[in-house]
Structure 1
């Protein structure tokens, strides 16, 4: 049975079914859960949520408040009786290997593709974007990133030319969440960053398809038209009235540069908000590492290296934090080891950017394939001595080494 009570009367042990008020005022990613932690209770009561709906069939009722301090019974708690669900707290989502996360991330990629196509299709038809309906997807992305940032970010990079615009938004959402956490932003701001990433390119839905998907170089007029997409997106989101200011700002200013040479307003330095500076890095990285109608993808590690050389483009502190998110050698990078073997990066080490986990598969000495071996470079004496280009070796299936892992 559902019951609405003031937030001040909420106690631990209650099952929160829904929260009143705008979703950006909520202190949680989840919306249905057993309130177990005192810290979560304090966050809820310190928020702007005026009231909540509780489900007394799944947790404590007001009348049971006196029992909350009784010794726990040996029987399972309400939280233990609930089946695992997408509303589970991100705090309980421990880090796993990229291999263990890959299947869940792949399912999320497939599901999010259709959701974003629908969302952007409605925007193309002039319908307002409902930001609150985007929250479940942002939450799913955030949970995947919490378990392992590299899996979803790398899978989303494997988009096709046809679904680039849609999957680019999912990838930037994931990158923004990972970067926000790397920068130490709180969960509310992280949620806003994810939503901003998801919606940052909605203005491209107002562009003619012939220009948006043109395989060749754009004319000056076409290029100027494409440069209008931040303003067009901002206007469309603003008209809808349900999108937070932070997401509007990222949509409008993710093409600004620190030296003031960006567009549409030539903002410089601190004139650009932190989220927009984050959006600039995330947008460019996914764009240049993806195959697009008019160009082939750059390799991830090479892209990071090139971006580091673009003076005046990115906020240095934000970019340094971004590199810690994706790694100096992101998933899928072909590397040469000191032993003379070639390997593909399949996972990052959280605290050692130059020592990822790799799959060794080829000997440069014998010029022959060797048995595939999983190697944690934080253990043992071998190390990376440089990057290699798969095309130089005739390798066409490099992504299979990391994208088809099954977690075993």
Structure 2
């Protein structure tokens, strides 16, 4: 039986079913478990959560009575308000701290190593999640929260590191890493747009799960190395609806995640799918999801196309009238930069350089690594330049197409230590 009690009444041995108040104040990743650790009890009572729901059929009651062996938990007894549809931020599980979204910023070089580890763990987690979804297992959003929080923490330390690494996915792991990349982009965009911590983590969860419907698509269509036929494209256009249906069957999936799964292919002019919604009919999260989804898709190598240059991708997206919400798109450009990390640029001095890191207060003056002279048509000793520094004597005069110059290893240049 579910009972609402004051947090001060919670005792060891009780089965926690839910907690009231902001999820940011909850001291646990998950709420459905038997409380056995005195440290967890102290954390709960110090958290500021006013009330908890306990299930006396699965743990101790307020009076200390043990549950009857034959008393199953009643699903029908659960009031809708007990389960928070979207947890707003994880806290602790097995000793892991919740993400600190006000954490100390890190340089690109400092965060790249940590972001690489996050990417590796994320890939394994998403492969497992998607594999289970393909087998018909319902998605438990609570199980996704540690991953979302870890991605969010990396993005907060340095927005460019993990987002730039995620762009380097291979054709074989695109489906999985695309979800991680969109998760990171959604977190960064949410912060840029001034959303609070709860909404930011909800945006990250929505990004992670937005393409879950692709797990219901035939593998020969999903992984086809060439262009899709009209019939195959019609099949793929059903993935938002299938994703929405799959997530509805899961546990603790937020309304935001459901909406982004269903609506991330809608367009502002009403020509998108599946609902042909227009303008404000599309939720803010779905409008954000549309931008993040497209940017990562066109800047990544996919089974049927080669990645576009990130700066060129932004330029093309800006020309797609009626596709994106202009306000959201402008905020997105501020996130990734006018010249995103990895962009090849030409400097006024005639040098070619690759962008290493953004300067948040000077989007046209990032940190770059110069490595080639267009005057001598020869490589030069690499030099890291902060184009926003007071003494900077050089500036960007335009972006360049790496293919024009035959450069094949720009990614190695921006990933190399800046020392």
Residue 23 of structure 2 corresponds to: 26
Q: 1:30 to 1:250 in 2, by over 3 A?
A: farther
Please state how far the C-alpha of 1:21 moved relative to its aligned partner.
2.1
Q: Aligned-pair RMSD on alpha carbons?
A: 2.8
Whole-angstrom CA distance in 2 between matches of 1:304 and 1:183: 18
Aligned: 1:394 with 2:391 = no
Q: 2:221 aligns with which of 203, 207, 211?
A: 211
Whole-angstrom CA distance in 1 between matches of 2:222 and 2:99: 39
Aligned: 1:325 with 2:325 = no
DSSP-derived class of the 1:399 partner: helix
Whole-angstrom CA distance in 2 between matches of 1:217 and 1:24: 49
Whole-angstrom CA distance in 2 between matches of 1:183 and 1:214: 36
Residue 397 of structure 2 corresponds to: 385
Whole-angstrom CA distance in 1 between matches of 2:287 and 2:212: 18
Please state how far the C-alpha of 1:179 moved relative to its aligned partner.
0.4
Describe how 1:88-167 pairs up with structure 2 within 5 A: 89-167=99-177
> Residues 277 and 315 of structure 1 are in contact (CA less than 8 Å); yes or no, is this contact kept in structure 2?
yes
The TM-score with structure 1 as length reference comes to: 0.82
DSSP-derived class of the 1:335 partner: strand
Residue 302 of structure 1 corresponds to: 312
Q: 1:338 to 1:361 in 2, by over 3 A?
A: same
Whole-angstrom CA distance in 1 between matches of 2:132 and 2:185: 24
Describe how 1:1-400 pairs up with structure 2 within 5 A: 6-7=6-7, 21=18, 25-28=22-25, 31=28, 44=49, 86-87=96-97, 89-379=99-389, 380-400=392-412
> Residues 31 and 87 of structure 1 are in contact (CA less than 8 Å); yes or no, is this contact kept in structure 2?
no
DSSP-derived class of the 1:373 partner: strand
Residue 69 of structure 1 corresponds to: none
Q: 1:99 to 1:49 in 2, by over 3 A?
A: farther
- Which whole-Å deviations, capped at 9, do the CAs of 1:140-177 have from their partners, x for residues lacking one? 00000000011100101100001001000000000000
Please state how far the C-alpha of 1:404 moved relative to its aligned partner.
3.9
Whole-angstrom CA distance in 2 between matches of 1:390 and 1:401: 13
Q: 1:247 to 1:91 in 2, by over 3 A?
A: closer
Unmatched tracts of structure 2, length 5 or more: 30-38, 41-45, 55-94
Whole-angstrom CA distance in 2 between matches of 1:276 and 1:146: 22
Q: 1:91 to 1:259 in 2, by over 3 A?
A: closer
**Number of aligned pairs?**
360
Please state how far the C-alpha of 1:403 moved relative to its aligned partner.
2.5
> Residues 390 and 396 of structure 1 are in contact (CA less than 8 Å); yes or no, is this contact kept in structure 2?
yes
Please state how far the C-alpha of 1:25 moved relative to its aligned partner.
4.7
Q: 1:181 to 1:20 in 2, by over 3 A?
A: farther
Residue 63 of structure 2 corresponds to: none
More displaced 10-residue stretch of structure 1: 240-249 or 343-352: 240-249
Q: 1:317 to 1:139 in 2, by over 3 A?
A: same
Q: 1:362 to 1:132 in 2, by over 3 A?
A: same
Q: 1:336 to 1:23 in 2, by over 3 A?
A: farther
- Which whole-Å deviations, capped at 9, do the CAs of 1:240-273 have from their partners, x for residues lacking one? 2431111000000000000000000000011000
Please state how far the C-alpha of 1:7 moved relative to its aligned partner.
4.4
Q: 1:316 to 1:126 in 2, by over 3 A?
A: same
DSSP-derived class of the 2:289 partner: helix
Please state how far the C-alpha of 1:217 moved relative to its aligned partner.
1.5
- Which whole-Å deviations, capped at 9, do the CAs of 1:211-241 have from their partners, x for residues lacking one? 0111111111101000000001111111224
More displaced 10-residue stretch of structure 1: 368-377 or 257-266: 368-377
Unmatched tracts of structure 1, length 5 or more: 11-17, 35-39, 52-84
> Residues 26 and 49 of structure 1 are in contact (CA less than 8 Å); yes or no, is this contact kept in structure 2?
no
> Residues 30 and 87 of structure 1 are in contact (CA less than 8 Å); yes or no, is this contact kept in structure 2?
no
Please state how far the C-alpha of 1:94 moved relative to its aligned partner.
1.2
DSSP-derived class of the 2:364 partner: strand
DSSP-derived class of the 1:349 partner: coil
Whole-angstrom CA distance in 2 between matches of 1:105 and 1:239: 32
- Which whole-Å deviations, capped at 9, do the CAs of 1:259-293 have from their partners, x for residues lacking one? 00000000001100000000000000000000001
> Residues 179 and 322 of structure 1 are in contact (CA less than 8 Å); yes or no, is this contact kept in structure 2?
yes
Please state how far the C-alpha of 1:31 moved relative to its aligned partner.
3.7
